[in-house]
């Protein structure tokens, strides 16, 4: 039997975050390449060494009736088991995107070096900062004309509020991209376009090596000058600061050319933390404990109307999961027959044989599982820290057929509890207001209301601009606030009171006028 403590130590669970188009998908593919999880395009290695073509995987998926895109991938690298979690972007951006960050121990941030720090990266980094998540940074697309490297570091430091410790440094860019200098190893790694994942790279030792002047005198001279500046302007890599989330090691490269990718994987394995203890309200749970425990951080709806099942994604927090074992859904105090639990491999999913802290397992959910639910072998644990984020998009929901009001309320109650969307009931008036962080959430809700509850809903725009949950130690002051601002107040699916502001100015003025009321941009799962 495997030793749980050593299984925990070898695990690395990280999310890959970026603004759309920075190269997240490309980099993910190359990471899988390097790990050997993808042999060639379209071929995936099975867990026990067998090979399956992608089409076989798709057939397996079809048979199981699962059409959820793979957003969790597990692969081996060196002596480690790596769990990589995708954070969906574009219009798929949703509350799930944020919550994925509660299930990881570190994050890999990809930045398009031609563009610098972009909006979605800022949002995701805000959540990472709240949680002190260690961040590894990859500056991508150096095979193109990109921005000045020092300026990029400066932008990361000032906008994302994290110190930068360059570990590699680019030599040239675009047509004259020659490679990267590894600052810690004092080696130049030469760039070759279209590098295969297993191709040996050519390495030249020492930044002052005359061979570099023979190969590309202009670029290396420029790099040496920049390095002088870098030494003055940036920070040395300090492991403790990285682990505290205050400093990020920065790597440069080109994902599409497989260049600079191995260095990132090595950093994640060598520096990023293994699963740590987690707060479960009654006590802290250590990952190497014998008994299994887990919590749900994401529920993915199946968009295929023929299959209503949804997958609840659980992060294992302790112990050992083995196929066929039983565990308890603590909120409902009910056993889960876990024979249909799946794990996520490079491009498909398979039955879980065993899983340890840091691993993600998926359980088909027929509506009983909610975001934030905890599971154990019996002990009453309640993992904390699964936040709800103040929505940024709002819609009033109406129904075509008024006789369906009951079904609408029931549907929204359940979708709200599940975390698919946030539902606000204003204190005054009968409208229901939906809040989301991504537009796709409204579409998902509309289609699920129709398919699962038989309700045709119409969404209309509202004057709400943003929401803040409110609290106050003084019950009398809170009652006063409620009485005065009833038209702007609502209760969410968990019955928490929220202030719906009509503009940023409106929010600021209200905060000024009511100094004793605390306004929260996040709410933790009750
Ligand atoms: P995502 O939206 O972050 O997942 O980005 P993708 O991986 O889909 O990449 C967006 C675009 O950038 C695609 O056209 C990629 O081919 C391109 N791309 C990714 N990495 C590189 C790179 O290293 N260099 C160049 N020139 N293009 C890249």
Helix/strand/coil for 263 = helix
Please list the pLDDT of the chain residue by residue as tens digits (526 residues): 579 999 999 999 999 999 999 999 889 888 887 777 654 433 343 433 343 434 333 443 343 333 234 578 888 999 999 999 988 777 677 888 889 999 999 999 999 999 999 999 998 999 999 899 999 999 999 999 999 999 999 999 999 999 999 999 999 999 999 999 999 999 999 998 766 666 778 999 999 999 999 999 999 999 999 999 998 888 999 999 999 999 999 999 999 998 999 999 999 999 999 999 999 999 999 999 999 999 999 887 654 455 566 788 899 999 999 888 889 999 889 888 766 676 654 444 556 678 999 999 888 877 788 888 999 999 999 998 777 888 989 999 999 888 999 999 999 988 887 788 999 999 998 889 999 988 888 988 898 899 889 999 999 999 999 999 999 999 999 999 999 999 999 999 888 999 999 999 999 999 999 999 999 988 875 5
Binding residues: 18-25, 86-90, 140-143
Predicted pLDDT of residue 343? 61
Phi then psi for residue 157, to 5 deg, are: -65, -45
Q: What domains, with CATH codes, occur in the chain?
A: 15-63+93-271 (3.40.50.300), 278-376 (3.40.50.300), 387-524 (3.30.70.3280)
Q: How far away, in angstroms, is 193 Cα from ligand 1 center?
A: 15
Report the helix count and the strand count for the chain, using DSSP H and E: 14, 35
Determine which residue's CA is closest to atom 15 belonging to ligand 1: 23
Q: How far away, in angstroms, is 139 Cα from ligand 1 center?
A: 12
Predicted pLDDT of residue 301? 64
CA distances from 300 to 59, 94, 308, 314 (A): 20, 11, 11, 11
With a Cβ cut-off of 6 Å, ligand 1 is lined by 18, 20-26, 89, 140-141, 143-144, 254-257
Determine which residue's CA is closest to atom 9 belonging to ligand 1: 23
Determine which residue's CA is closest to atom 10 belonging to ligand 1: 21
Q: How far away, in angstroms, is 205 Cα from ligand 1 center?
A: 30
Predicted pLDDT of residue 121? 94
Predicted pLDDT of residue 112? 98
Q: Which atom of ligand 1 is nearest to the CA of 22?
A: 3
Of 256, 258, 261, 264, the one to substitute when testing ligand 1's pocket (max ligand atoms within 8 A of C-beta) is 256
C-beta neighbour count of 457 within 10 angstroms:
23
DSSP string across 268-280 = HHHTSPPP--EE-
Strand bridging mode 135-140 / 247-252: parallel
Closest CA to 496 of 518, 480, 513: 518
Helix/strand/coil for 247 = strand
Q: How far away, in angstroms, is 22 Cα from ligand 1 center?
A: 6
d(CA 318, CA 344): 19
pLDDT in tens, 297-319: 988 765 445 556 678 889 999 99
**Residue 310 bridge partners (DSSP):** 365
Predicted pLDDT of residue 340? 66
Q: Which atom of ligand 1 is nearest to the CA of 255?
A: 23
Determine which residue's CA is closest to atom 19 belonging to ligand 1: 23
Predicted pLDDT of residue 56? 38
Q: How far away, in angstroms, is 270 Cα from ligand 1 center?
A: 26
Q: Which atom of ligand 1 is nearest to the CA of 20?
A: 2
Q: How far away, in angstroms, is 26 Cα from ligand 1 center?
A: 6
DSSP state of 6: H
Query: What sections of 275-380 are H helices per DSSP?
Result: none
DSSP string across 370-385 = -TT-EEESSS------
Predicted pLDDT of residue 458? 92
Binding residues for GTP: 18-25, 86-90, 140-143
- How buried is 119 (Cβ within 10 angstroms: 0-12 exposed, 13-18 middle, 19+ buried)? exposed
Predicted pLDDT of residue 39? 47
Query: What sections of 65-201 are H helices per DSSP?
Result: 95-100, 119-131, 149-160
Of 26, 73, 89, 147, the one to substitute when testing ligand 1's pocket (max ligand atoms within 8 A of C-beta) is 26
Instruction: Quote the tokens at residue 58.
Output: 């798709």
Predicted pLDDT of residue 62? 40
Predicted pLDDT of residue 463? 92
d(CA 438, CA 505): 23
Q: How far away, in angstroms, is 112 Cα from ligand 1 center?
A: 8
């Amino acid at each position: 039997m495997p030793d749980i403590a050593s299984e925990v130590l070898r695990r690395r669970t990280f999310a890959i975050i970026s603004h759309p188009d920075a190269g997240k998908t490309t980099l993910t593919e190359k990471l899988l390449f390097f790990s050997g999880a993808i042999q060639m395009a379209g071929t995936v290695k099975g867990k026990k060494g067998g090979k399956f073509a992608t089409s076989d995987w798709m057939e397996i998926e079809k048979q199981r009736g699962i059409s959820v895109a793979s957003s969790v991938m597990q692969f081996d690298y060196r002596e480690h088991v790596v769990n990589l979690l995708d954070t969906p972007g574009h219009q798929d951006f949703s509350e799930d995107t944020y919550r994925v960050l509660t299930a990881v121990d570190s994050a890999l941030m990809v930045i398009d070096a031609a563009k610098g720090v972009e909006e979605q990266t800022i949002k995701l980094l805000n959540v990472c900062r709240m949680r002190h998540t260690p961040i590894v940074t990859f500056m991508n697309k150096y095979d193109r004309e990109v921005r000045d490297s020092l300026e990029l570091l400066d932008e990361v430091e000032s906008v994302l509020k994290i110190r930068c410790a360059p570990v590699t440094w680019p030599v040239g860019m675009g047509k004259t991209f020659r490679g990267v200098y590894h600052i810690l190893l004092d080696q130049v790694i030469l760039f070759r376009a279209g590098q295969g994942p297993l191709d040996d790279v050519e390495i030249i030792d020492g930044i002052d090596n005359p061979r570099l002047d023979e190969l590309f005198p202009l670029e290396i001279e420029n790099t040496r000058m920049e390095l002088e500046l870098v030494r003055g302007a940036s920070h040395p890599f300090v492991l403790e600061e990285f682990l505290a989330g205050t400093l990020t090691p920065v790597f440069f490269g080109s994902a599409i050319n497989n260049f600079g990718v191995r260095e990132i994987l090595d950093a994640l394995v060598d520096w990023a933390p293994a699963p740590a203890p987690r707060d479960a309200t009654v006590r802290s749970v250590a990952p190497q404990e014998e008994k299994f425990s887990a919590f749900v951080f994401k529920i993915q709806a199946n968009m295929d109307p023929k299959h209503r099942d949804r997958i609840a994604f659980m992060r294992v927090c302790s112990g050992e999961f083995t196929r066929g074992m039983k565990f308890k859904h603590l909120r409902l105090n009910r056993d889960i027959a876990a024979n249909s639990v799946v794990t996520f491999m490079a491009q498909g999913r398979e039955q879980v044989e065993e899983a340890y802290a840091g691993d993600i397992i998926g359980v088909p959910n027929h509506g009983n599982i909610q975001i934030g639910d905890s599971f154990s072998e019996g002990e009453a644990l309640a993992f904390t820290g699964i936040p709800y984020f103040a929505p940024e998009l709002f819609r009033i929901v109406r129904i075509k057929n008024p006789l369906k009001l009951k079904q609408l309320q029931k549907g929204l109650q359940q979708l709200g509890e599940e975390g698919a969307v946030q539902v606000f009931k204003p204190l005054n008036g009968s409208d229901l207001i939906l809040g989301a962080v991504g537009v796709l959430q409204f579409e998902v809700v509309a289609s699920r209301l129709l398919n699962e509850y038989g309700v045709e809903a119409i969404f209309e725009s509202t004057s709400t601009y943003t929401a803040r949950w409110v609290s106050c130690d003084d019950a009398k002051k809170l009652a006063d606030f409620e009485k005065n601002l009833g038209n702007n107040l609502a209760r969410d699916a968990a019955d928490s009171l929220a202030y719906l502001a009509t503009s940023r100015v409106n929010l600021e003025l209200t905060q000024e006028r009511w100094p004793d009321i605390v306004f929260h941009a996040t709410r933790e799962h009750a």
